[in-house]
Structure 1
Amino acid sequence: MTTLAATLSVADPAARDRLLDAIRFDARGLVPCIAQQHDSGEVLMLAWMNRDAVAETLETGRVCYFSRSRGGLWRKGETSGQVQRLVDLRLDCDGDALLALVDQAGVACHTGRRSCFYLAPRDGTLAEIAAPLVSAEALYGR
């Protein structure tokens, strides 16, 4: 993996553009991004980014994704308060996947769990291996 955010000054527009140009976005203009808690290594979620989402993330330090269902930018935590702050951004060897090392405030999953990866095969069934830490009502006022 190449650690581009650590070697480029992303505050500099030219350096940011070089980073953005190194990413191989798919035909829809998207790239998958894995969010990982920087200090524990816990994988929190997988989401998609487009060029604007990556640029905003680098500019603000707050992780922004592209919502395929809404067709627009999605700033993690804008409705739930469960914000992700960028610690580092890494591009894989093929340039077609990102790893965002983040500092996650609260839970990452919309179900109220710390991680979106809470289902696992157990005893011939798909079991929930982590309970919600926060209710949907508390997250979204529903």
Structure 2
Amino acid sequence: MEEKVWKKVNSRACGIIRSCLTLDLIYDVMNETLTKRLWEILNNKYLTKNIENQLHLKKIFYQFKMNRGVSIREHVNNFTKLLSDMANVDIMVDDEDNAMLLLCSLSEDDYGTFVLTMINGRTIVSYKA
């Protein structure tokens, strides 16, 4: 392949990879111009199975909370992504703990009754005086 064509393909590939990254990840690779090196940096930083990555993901997992203004769909997508990231570094959490953490991560103001209903398995009626 011609060098001019290669540079164009490489530049586009870097751009596509960066367009898929969140802002906090882009900063790690924003000055990298080689696709192979960009991929290696991301792979080494986020997909290696070292203890630091595992502990970091566990911290995020156990502190996971719903942010104000985030839709329930987006919140569940973020949770699913976190579970996928954890699985990539060999952290497995059983389904019951996943469900409980997801329920506990929901906003108490908006989803409190729903969470209690799911945990207790029955409808809870609240009366306002």
Measured against the shorter chain, the TM-score band is under 0.3
TM-score, length-scaled by structure 1: 0.24
TM-score, length-scaled by structure 2: 0.25
Structure (1/2) with the larger helix percentage: 2
Structure of greater Rg: 2
